[in-house]
Amino acid sequence: IQLTQSPSLLSASVGDRVTLSCKGSQNINNYLAWYQQKLGEAPKLLIYNTNSLQTGIPSRFSGSGSGTDYTLTISSLQPEDVATYFCYQYNNGLTFGSGTKLEIK
């Protein structure tokens, strides 16, 4: 399964509601996770099974979706959210999306 993330680059203001998209080439059956990678750091798991928040992750992060289309939403963008976000499917094989780089405007 191939994953296509959009946009590849997103600029938004502090406090904005931000939506990142991940689209699979086949049905992912909700086996979809989201990772945040800050510059120079290892990725961090944010969301698994489409909408389950990993322990310790702020509640402004949420996930949704079904079938082939999935979304990560940040309800109120904070400066510390600057990072690249990757989706990851584990329904059929294991694959990462190409990433969305999130910047502060």
Cβ closest to another protein, residue 8 vs residue 76:
8
User: 16: left (phi > 0), else alpha (psi -120 to 50), else beta?
Assistant: beta
Say if CB 8 and CB 100 are below 8 A apart: yes
Site for another protein in 76-95 (CB under 8 A): 84, 86, 88, 90, 93-95
Taking the complex as a whole, the smallest distance from the CB of residue 2 to another protein amounts, in Å, to: 12
Q: How far apart are CA 27 and CA 50, in angstroms?
A: 13
Cβ closest to another protein, residue 15 vs residue 93:
93
Determine which helix (DSSP H) or strand (DSSP E) holds 40, and give its type and residue range.
none
Taking the complex as a whole, the smallest distance from the CB of residue 67 to another protein amounts, in Å, to: 19
Say if CB 88 and CB 96 are below 8 A apart: yes
Taking the complex as a whole, the smallest distance from the CB of residue 3 to another protein amounts, in Å, to: 10
Q: Which of 65, 70, 99, 102 binds another protein (CB under 8 A)?
A: 99
The one-character DSSP state at 42 is: -
Question: Which residues here bind another protein, judged by CB under 8 A?
Answer: 33, 35, 37, 42-45, 48-49, 54, 84, 86, 88, 90, 93-99
